[in-house]
Homo-oligomer: A and B are copies of this chain.
Amino acid sequence: MKLITTIIKPFKLDEVKEALIEIGVQGMTVTEVKGFGRQKGHKETYRGTEYQIDFVPKIKIELVIADELEQKVLETVTRAAKTGSIGDGKIFVSDLQGVIRIRTGETGEGAV
């Protein structure tokens, strides 16, 4: 099993979700995060005092999939999340030792 973690621009979430469903992904977990990177943040002014905010809002999607789906998922996410401008985000791939579905106790690929 693989755990695919991807950081994307918030307004891309729906697009990416739809694209993943099309290729048969049945579940995912989403977290609101703040990202720091090449994409520069923004300026805020309060009563003449200016703040430079480095962090930009991002969405993190965690996706557990069977190994054979890896390529398909990576391509799909890359395609769906891409705008071509700085800050599109990253995809991280790591191994999973095991998965359990709490409701049934099923393990392995049957559990996702």
Contact = CB atoms under 8 A, between A and B. Distances in A.
Number of identical protomers: 3
Contacts of A96: 92-94
A19 B32 CA distance: 24
Interface in A62-112: 64, 74, 77-78, 81-103, 105, 111-112
Interface residues of A, number: 53
Nearest to A17: B36
B77 A102 contact: yes
A95 B95 contact: yes
Given A26-B37, A87-B103, 13 more contacts: A3-B94, A7-B29, A17-B36, A28-B36, A29-B58, A30-B35, A31-B60, A78-B100, A84-B103, A88-B101, A93-B98, A94-B95, A95-B97
9 contacts: A17-B54, A27-B35, A28-B37, A30-B35, A30-B55, A78-B100, A87-B103, A88-B103, A94-B96
